[in-house]
Amino acid sequence: MPTKRKVPTNDVVITATVKKVRPNFELSMPNRPSIGGYALVCGAGEMGQLGLGVDVCERKRPAMLEKVPNVVDICAGGMHNLILTADGAVYSFGCNDEGALGRPTADEDDAFEPDLVKLPTKALMISAGDSHSACLLDDGRVFAWGSFRDSHGSMGLTVDGIQKLPVDVMGLTNCTEIASGSDHLVVLTSRGKVYTFGCAEQGQLGRVPNRSVSGEGRQGKKILLTPGEIIMKRGKPVEKIWASSYCTYLRESNTNSIWVFGLNNYVQLIYNNVEERVLYPVRTNLENAKDIAGGQHHTLVLKNDGKCYAVGRGDYGRLGIGKNVSDQRELQAIDKLQNEKIQSISCGECFSFAVTDEGKLYSWGMGTNLSLGTGNEDDVWEPELIISKNTENKRILKASGGGQHSIFLVTDNNNSIKGKTTATATTATTEKEKITNKIVNGKNDDKKEVNNVATEIDATAKRGRKKK
């Protein structure tokens, strides 16, 4: 609140308002990663998400993707992938039904192999959701393409509808970070402001009242598809953002406090005071969070000391804390990783990954679609070290999980991006898991009954996609 002081002028006392000026806050543009190599893929590929051609629809273990060299970042969407190269180029492959690839695909072959997305300048960062993709350009603009979806079907990406080619979605040149949920996009600017747009049905936009989350309010879908600023009461500028399937997480500058909003039916927001949905930002008690990742109903937290924790729904082993565990309302240490220093974490819909500082890859959770890279379809209840001929004597830099597939960034030991890498692909199998897309929008006294219906979303069932 502004403070007031009395300023004397002769015989008159004037009350002047003096505003407390916040020190200048400025986030710098991120650097494009300088260490990389090539991509590995595994899991289901019936819609081209493995990028290995129309004849390869599944892989049991991580298989080499030879088409794109000098890879520095990877990102899995629901049924597609993005790859960022050392020179700032973006490649895409997979399902393109709603424009998620950002490029024309005249026939099936075009979607089943990586190809270049045409952008006005070089990219620094990429993100992907179920049916949309986005990138942060080196001039501070955010370009996106594809479509968001809600319980009624496709919403379009902007108020103009589906965008099958990249468009400037922010109209700003000071953006510094992006994060995609299944059907929403989060953008951070250099001034510490956060903008969201997309589906709001689970509260993941953090700024839409309950009467408008369906897009049927007075403003229609305009309030959802026009980027809007997040307002945090008594909050400081934001320095870091994350998004899981239906949740958004913000880290406040100076205090490092974590603010959250979105779906909380399994306490995946790490916030115990409200169930089902959190429509506006609330501050959590989470401390020392270096990284946050989440699937549909679970969340992983990487602390500053390199230790990994999990919270949320317990079935299929996605928490990594043992077999037949109950749902967890508080963060639980993943004991199998306590002797490792974790460098990065990530999640698919109902499975998880952790990468150590030594470049070792661990996976756990639902194995139905072979997306764990273990070589079989068994669920994995505790982190399992992934070893294969394509990871032998290699360093895993990053893992990213989609709906039924995974993609990994791999490099030779002590290799910089200037080095050249090649390899060959291997084989695998998968079967789609059919599940519903019913997510609770309101309070329900029988949570277990509702959540049996609102189980993991099979990407094909969710989008109604058919192989052409």
Predicted pLDDT at 15 = 41
Predicted pLDDT at 22 = 55
Predicted pLDDT at 414 = 61
Average pLDDT (230-245) is 95
The pairing of strands 3-9 and 123-128 is unpaired
Strand locations in 103-246 (E)? 115-117, 123-128, 132-137, 142-146, 148-150, 153-156, 163-168, 175-180, 184-189, 194-198, 228-229, 238-243
Average pLDDT (281-291) is 96
The pairing of strands 71-76 and 80-85 is antiparallel
Predicted pLDDT at 441 = 39
Q: pLDDT per residue over 303-324, tens digit each? A: 999 999 999 999 999 999 999 8
Helix (H, G, I), strand (E, B) or coil at 92: strand
Question: DSSP string of 380-435?
Answer: EEEEEE---TTTTTEEEEEEEE-SSEEEEEEEETT--TTS------------PPP-
Residue 39 has pLDDT above 90, yes or no: yes
Q: Which residues 6+ apart lie within 8 Å of 263 measured at CB?
A: 202, 203, 204, 245, 246, 247, 269, 276, 277, 439, 440
Average pLDDT (271-278) is 89
- Report the range of poorest mean pLDDT among 11-15, 130-134, 151-155: 11-15
Structure tokens at 213: 């989350």
The CA angle 147-153-155, to the nearest 5 degrees, is: 40
Predicted pLDDT at 376 = 95
pLDDT band at 415 (very low <50, low <70, confident <90, very high): low
- Tokens 């290799």 found at: 415
Helix (H, G, I), strand (E, B) or coil at 110: helix
- Tokens 């026009």 found at: 226
Give the pTM.
0.85
Q: Which residue type is seen at 331?
A: L
What is the number of alpha carbons within 13 Å of residue 135 lying toward its C-beta?
32
Q: How far apart are CA 142 and CA 154, in angstroms?
A: 21
Q: pLDDT per residue over 85-118, tens digit each? A: 999 999 999 999 999 999 999 887 899 999 999 9
Average pLDDT (187-199) is 98
Q: Which residues 6+ apart lie within 8 Å of 130 measured at CB?
A: 77, 78, 79, 149, 182, 183, 403, 459, 462, 463
H-run or E-run covering 58:
strand 58-65
The pairing of strands 247-252 and 258-263 is antiparallel
Q: Are 297 and 366 contacting, i.e. CB atoms less than 8 angstroms apart?
A: no
Structure tokens at 316: 């299929």
Q: What is the dihedral of CA 151, 154, 155, 157, to 10 degrees?
A: 140
Predicted pLDDT at 234 = 86
What is the rounded average pLDDT for all residues in the chain?
86
Q: How far apart are CA 167 and CA 154, in angstroms?
A: 18
- Percent of the chain's residues with pLDDT above 90: 78
Bridge partners of 161, per DSSP, are: 158
Where in the chain are the domains? 33-463
Q: Are 342 and 295 contacting, i.e. CB atoms less than 8 angstroms apart?
A: no
pLDDT band at 158 (very low <50, low <70, confident <90, very high): very high
Candidates 382, 266, 270, 261; CA nearest to 317 is: 382
**For the domain 33-463, what is the CATH code?**
2.130.10.30
Average pLDDT (38-52) is 96
Predicted pLDDT at 17 = 42
Q: pLDDT per residue over 339-371, tens digit each? A: 999 999 999 999 999 999 999 999 999 999 999
Structure tokens at 221: 């879908």
Q: How far apart are CA 313 and CA 326, in angstroms?
A: 7
